[in-house]
Amino acid sequence: MISSMHTITLHDAENQLVRLVEQAALGKAFIISKAGRPMVKVIPYDSMTGSSERLGFMIGEISVPEDFDRMGSSEIAGLFNENAQ
């Protein structure tokens, strides 16, 4: 989660670049901000993943209702019935 990640200002990042890069390489990702707005997230190169490796990254964060495939079916059927008349 980004909000719990360490954030550093762009100015401080410029002054501490070597130390920050070494920490990121060890797995301590961080965010660089400018004027209080997050600009970039620095992560170790080895942790970059392709989209197929990200499958399931939100397990436990969301739930899909059992009737998901039937949600809104009566409204949709009503629209077709209206257009058929």
- Distances, alpha carbon 34 to alpha carbons 11, 44, 45, 54, in Å: 8, 21, 23, 29
Residue 75 lies in a domain: no
Minimal CA–CA distance to 13: which of 5, 21, 4?
21
The answer, as to whether pTM is greater than 0.85, is no
Please, what sign has the CA dihedral across residues 26, 4, 54, 9? negative
Q: How many structural domains are present in the chain?
A: 1
User: Residue 20's domain is classified under what CATH number?
Assistant: 3.40.1620.10
Domain that holds residue 2: 1-46
**What does the pLDDT look like over 67-82, one tens digit per residue?**
989 889 999 888 988 7
Q: Is residue 3 part of a domain?
A: yes
The band of 46, judged by pLDDT with boundaries at 50, 70 and 90, is: confident
